[in-house]
């Protein structure tokens, strides 16, 4: 088994906080050279110093800016599409602007970054790997998550199409689908027992995921140990979607 990523250059979007930040640290520990996209300029400067990463403050919903960033991108071996947003709304209160924002960031921007990353890999003759950070919300209905569920289901559909089209060119594409993951923001959001306890009761393992428990499967899918895995949507949910 080889989970190491030495001499692999990997782009991570949404790298300045949450799951993306833990993915960046885990990939560095496994030897990867990183390119990091994010919006928090101060955090990017910090990560550039701490991880030796190449960083770029970028709004990935700006297609022209993304294309410009890739014009000077070194050869990539992998992409982690982790940038994303969430909006919570009931079906009877859903707003068009929330749906547009979710689809713009979670689907359209991810597709554009994947397009550019795949073109980069092909131009440099690399057989690479793309991992989309999706959600258990793509697989089951979650109350109050109409737009978010739809956007993550679209991301999983995108994963399968990318797998079909890029596989013959030597590029693997997979998704990971985490349950509630205890980033600092999620810890605050799920601190109320009335909200937390019913969700925990629905998870057979009886707990939420840690960011590290998401980052390591991402690293596996990027590695040579996953060389025959493509087109999968991997639940990291403690059994939640087994119901």
Cα–Cα dist 92/84, whole Å: 24
The 10s digit of each residue's pLDDT in 27-38 is 999 999 999 999
Q: For all residues of the chain together, what is the average pLDDT?
A: 96
Q: Kindly report whether the global pTM for this prediction surpasses the value 0.95.
A: yes
Domain 9-181+210-233 is found in CATH 3.40.50.720: yes
What pLDDT sits at residue 238?
98
H or E element that contains 55? strand 54-57
The 10s digit of each residue's pLDDT in 135-186 is 999 999 999 999 999 999 999 999 999 999 999 999 999 999 999 999 998 9
What residues act catalytically? Answer: 148, 152
Cα–Cα dist 10/129, whole Å: 9
């Amino acid at each position: 088994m080889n989970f190491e990523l030495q001499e692999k250059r990997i782009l991570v979007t949404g790298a300045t906080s949450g799951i993306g930040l833990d993915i960046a640290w885990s990939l560095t520990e496994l030897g990867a050279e990183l390119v990091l996209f994010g919006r928090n300029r101060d955090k990017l400067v910090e990560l550039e110093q701490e991880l030796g990463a190449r960083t770029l403050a970028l709004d990935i919903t700006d297609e022209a800016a993304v294309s410009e960033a890739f014009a000077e991108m070194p050869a990539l071996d992998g992409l982690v599409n982790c940038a994303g947003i969430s909006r919570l709304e009931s079906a009877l209160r859903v707003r068009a602007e929330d749906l547009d924002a979710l689809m713009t960031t979670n689907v359209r921007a991810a597709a554009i970054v994947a397009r550019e990353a795949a073109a980069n890999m092909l131009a440099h003759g690399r057989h690479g790997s793309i991992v989309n950070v999706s959600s258990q919300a793509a697989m089951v209905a979650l109350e109050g998550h109409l737009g978010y569920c739809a956007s993550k289901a679209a991301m999983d559909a995108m994963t399968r199409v990318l797998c079909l089209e890029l596989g013959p060119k030597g590029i693997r594409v997979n998704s990971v689908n985490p349950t509630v993951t205890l980033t600092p923001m999620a810890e605050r959001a799920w601190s109320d027992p009335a909200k937390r306890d019913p969700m925990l009761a629905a998870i057979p393992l009886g707990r939420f995921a840690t960011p590290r428990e998401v980052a390591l499967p991402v690293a596996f899918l990027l590695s040579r140990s996953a060389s025959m895995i493509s087109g999968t949507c991997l639940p990291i949910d403690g059994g939640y979607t087994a119901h």
